[in-house]
Amino acid sequence: MDTRIDVYPTHEIAGYPVRAGRPLPFGATLVPGGVNFSIFSRHATACSLVLFEKGATEPLAELPFPAEFRIGDVFCMIVFGLDVEEIEYGYRMDGPFDPARGHRFDKTKILSDPHARLLAGRNVWGAEPDWSAPYPHRARIAFDDFDWQGDRSPGIPLEDLVIYELHVRSFTQHPSSEVKNRGTYAGLAEKIPYLKELGVNCVELMPIFEFDEFENSRVNQETGERLLNYWGYSTVGFFAPKAGFAATGRLGMQMDELKTLVRQLHEAGIEVMLDVVFNHTAEGNENGPYISFRGLDNQAYYILTPEGYYYNFSGCGNTLNCNNPVVRAFVLDCLRYWAAEYHIDGFRFDLASILGRDLQGAPLANPPLLESLAYDPILSKCKLVAEAWDAGGLYQVGSFPAYGRWAEWNGRFRDDIRKFLKGDTGLAGAVATRVLGSADLYGWNQRGPTASINFVTCHDGFTLHDLVAYNGKHNEANGEQNRDGSNDNESWNCGWEGESSDEGVLTLRRRQMKNAIAMLLVSNGVPMLLAGDEFARTQYGNNNNYCHDTELSWIDWNRQKAFPDLHRFVQKMIAFRRAHPVLRPTRHLTGEVSSASGLPQVSFHGTRAWQADFSPQSRVLAYLLDGAQAKGGTVPDATLYIAFNMYWEPLTFELPFPPATTRWHVFANTGCPSPDDIFAPGEEPELPQQDAILVGGRSVLILVAR
């Protein structure tokens, strides 16, 4: 027998027994005997809870909230006796339609709960939706009762992370993935052994919050291809995992499937970072649909012009009003939920600079949202990574408000390494700064090299293969006459634009890919790889692949067989990074000389030992990392010598002496054909001549002293 009096109803509304609810938590929460519904709106004059039978077009019932069920700006009610698995719910809000004052209430619309943890409507990826449905993204009631079996975050220090960025569907949708459940969380789980073997220890998932792949979908008139919102950088439900990425989405079990994936990744020692998009929503501008926020309280949730139009700092139609205290709490609630309920280890914030804009859109010196996230007790172990710019012109790489916590996607690393790689002159100085963790960006405020997420490629732009196979973008398939996508690719095709059968071109491309991988993985900071780059995935020159649910996006695993040497090279480079703490400092290295070794922490060299060439003509950089001072001298490590020859001819590099009692051994030399291009850490062959070595044109050499 129930011994609490609050499990009994006090009212009956529309035939349902109810009682006044609790304002917190927001959303639909299972309580003894019923469900507590709670929703915020400051400016609504009335609100009804709309109940549906699962999948039904017409509501089952509408329950207006009596005035006494409203506490402050929150409507809350407990409804008893619901069959929670068979019910979907939404809200109907009444209030002023007065765009000049920011209000766009429309009581003809049924609105999705922004706190819904489960959303139906796009249960199976790509299934044509019913366009006339009055309520397309349907909130459902979730069980948060997953048995984690003692799971905990691997807790990998940021400096030890090797991030691997992937799109859940792209990763296994291609038949060559040979998984049972292609294109899903479960499919990704089947690839865990592959990830372990490769050696990455963090997967960064491109958006997995519920989105509508059919948003702005259109047909490319030339190719007839249906173009989709494939990447999903446009959130419909911030608390709900993308159902279409779950093999069990049709059963509404995406929560269990995603949690099972996270648990299995953790078991394999792999962390999970989510790419989260809080800068805008899927509701677009004033012509966009009513999904949720616009009809709940437009003025609170969006940054609006004085005339009531939407500011577009995101380039996607609207801008979420992240520093409104209500919205700030919403974002915090959301991230806490993913960290606590899904055991997520970190977040990468898309166009994060928007999160530092005030209610009118001006950049804040001390943005409360970013500060709250940095000091939050539940998020305290999560990695926080900013894409430190927005589409409104705010570029904060190196100056993103960090509070000692935030790391950044280092766009400068990408650009300088790309230019150096293709043979531009005068970059030796910049590259020296980049490979040592960008002290120019992250040294002045003591943030350290781990503030720098280093990458050469990411989902945005060329893949690694295309970076060395195309001079220009080839985005015709996107249906905008090649106008979309960036023109600043800093790419070089190695002598032929696109697919080639020329052995010389192909050999050079392989070497250039290895050079890029080597530079990335020896760099101080946190490396991020783009999935598939380890076996030369191509998008055939498309550098803005956001809309293709085709082989242009899907990883073709056959290429692993075509590029076994590149795959092996990447694997060994990751192993090397993990074997050498001297590559993973938490403070920027300096010229401080150790009395033990007599060497500086880092020293620069050129073709002559101890004489770096930072001249405007230089295409060469070599440096020595003192193993005796790895992690401030607390961890024993070997001394490493790393040389980049980005000149097209071979050059002889005079070598500094290895530390006493050691000899130089060759770990990697991209100028050599496989398998002599790289060795297993610990099995490097000794260099026959210890005082100089000929480094091939456009090659990277890595020596280990032991």
Partner 1 sequence: MKTEISRQPTHVLVACEGHIDGKTAPELQATLAPLFGEASAIVLDLSKVDYMSSAGLRVLLLVHRQLVAKKGRTVLVGLSESLTETMRITGFLQFFETQPTLAAVKF
* Active-site residue set: 350, 387
Shortest distance, position 244 Cβ to partner 1, whole Å = 15
Query: Whole-angstrom Cα distance, residue 570 to residue 517?
Result: 7
Closest to 217 in 3D by CA, of 292, 150, 129, 297: 129
Shortest distance, position 146 Cβ to partner 1, whole Å = 7
Identity of the residue, 267 or 676, whose beta carbon is nearer to partner 1 in the bound complex: 267
Identity of the residue, 85 or 222, whose beta carbon is nearer to partner 1 in the bound complex: 85
Does 397 interact with partner 1 (rule: CB under 8 A)? no
Identity of the residue, 272 or 352, whose beta carbon is nearer to partner 1 in the bound complex: 272
Shortest distance, position 147 Cβ to partner 1, whole Å = 7
What angle (nearest 5°) sits at the alpha carbon of residue 702, between those of residues 581 and 578? 25
Q: How many residues does the chain have?
A: 706
Q: Residue 562's CB: how many other CB atoms inside 10 A?
A: 12
Looking only at residues 300 through 329 of this chain, which bind partner 1 when binding is defined by CB under 8 A? Answer: none
Position among 220, 260, 372, 399 found at the interface with partner 1 (CB under 8 A)? 260
Identity of the residue, 1 or 5, whose beta carbon is nearer to partner 1 in the bound complex: 1
Query: Whole-angstrom Cα distance, residue 557 to residue 176?
Result: 5
Q: Which residues are CB-neighbours of 375 under 8 A, at least 6 positions away?
A: 403
Q: Which residues are CB-neighbours of 82 under 8 A, at least 6 positions away?
A: 16, 34, 35, 51, 141
Identity of the residue, 253 or 692, whose beta carbon is nearer to partner 1 in the bound complex: 253
Shortest distance, position 667 Cβ to partner 1, whole Å = 40
Position among 159, 212, 257, 626 found at the interface with partner 1 (CB under 8 A)? 257
Looking only at residues 129 through 148 of this chain, which bind partner 1 when binding is defined by CB under 8 A? Answer: 143, 145-147
Shortest distance, position 570 Cβ to partner 1, whole Å = 29
Identity of the residue, 184 or 607, whose beta carbon is nearer to partner 1 in the bound complex: 184
**Cβ 571 vs Cβ 197: under 8 Å:** yes
Q: Which residue has the tokens 């979907």?
A: 88
Closest to 432 in 3D by CA, of 414, 450, 453, 417: 417
Closest to 531 in 3D by CA, of 242, 125, 177, 175: 177
Identity of the residue, 247 or 624, whose beta carbon is nearer to partner 1 in the bound complex: 247
Q: Is 484 exposed, middle or buried (0-12, 13-18, 19+ CB in 10 A)?
A: middle
Identity of the residue, 340 or 378, whose beta carbon is nearer to partner 1 in the bound complex: 340
**Cβ 240 vs Cβ 116: under 8 Å:** yes
Encoding tokens for residue 603? 């020293």
Q: Is the Cα torsion angle 217, 219, 220, 225 positive or negative in sign?
A: positive
**Cβ 284 vs Cβ 87: under 8 Å:** no
Query: Whole-angstrom Cα distance, residue 359 to residue 405?
Result: 24
Does 119 interact with partner 1 (rule: CB under 8 A)? no
Encoding tokens for residue 30? 């299972």
Q: Which stretch binds partner 1 (CB under 8 A): 26-34, 243-251, 620-628, 629-637?
A: 243-251
Position among 256, 358, 440, 556 found at the interface with partner 1 (CB under 8 A)? 256
Shortest distance, position 84 Cβ to partner 1, whole Å = 7
SS3 200: coil
SS3 267: helix
Shortest distance, position 212 Cβ to partner 1, whole Å = 23
Q: Which stretch binds partner 1 (CB under 8 A): 162-170, 246-254, 468-476, 555-563?
A: 246-254
Query: Whole-angstrom Cα distance, residue 412 to residue 402?
Result: 18
Shortest distance, position 190 Cβ to partner 1, whole Å = 9
Cα-Cα end-to-end distance for the chain: 74
How many chain residues bind partner 1 (CB under 8 A)? 24
For residue 380, report the phi and psi dihedrals to the nearest 5 degrees: -65, -25
Looking only at residues 175 through 194 of this chain, which bind partner 1 when binding is defined by CB under 8 A? Answer: 180-181, 184-186, 189
Strands 74-80, 16-20: parallel, antiparallel or unpaired by DSSP? antiparallel
Does 251 interact with partner 1 (rule: CB under 8 A)? yes
Q: Which stretch binds partner 1 (CB under 8 A): 250-258, 300-308, 570-578, 602-610?
A: 250-258
Does 247 interact with partner 1 (rule: CB under 8 A)? yes
Does 31 interact with partner 1 (rule: CB under 8 A)? no
State the binding string over 512-531 for partner 1 (x if CB under 8 A, else -): --------------------
CA torsion angle 398 404 405 408 (round to 10): 10
Q: Residue 190's CB: how many other CB atoms inside 10 A?
A: 18
Shortest distance, position 170 Cβ to partner 1, whole Å = 19
Name the DSSP letter for residue 169: H
Identity of the residue, 180 or 218, whose beta carbon is nearer to partner 1 in the bound complex: 180
Looking only at residues 79 through 98 of this chain, which bind partner 1 when binding is defined by CB under 8 A? Answer: 83-86
Q: Which residue has the tokens 């005030």?
A: 358
Identity of the residue, 259 or 567, whose beta carbon is nearer to partner 1 in the bound complex: 259
What angle (nearest 5°) sits at the alpha carbon of residue 171, between those of residues 460 and 515? 55
**Cβ 319 vs Cβ 346: under 8 Å:** no
Looking only at residues 348 through 377 of this chain, which bind partner 1 when binding is defined by CB under 8 A? Answer: none
**Cβ 652 vs Cβ 643: under 8 Å:** no
Shortest distance, position 246 Cβ to partner 1, whole Å = 8
Residues interacting with partner 1, by CB under 8 A? 83-86, 143, 145-147, 180-181, 184-186, 189, 247-248, 251-253, 256-257, 259-260, 263
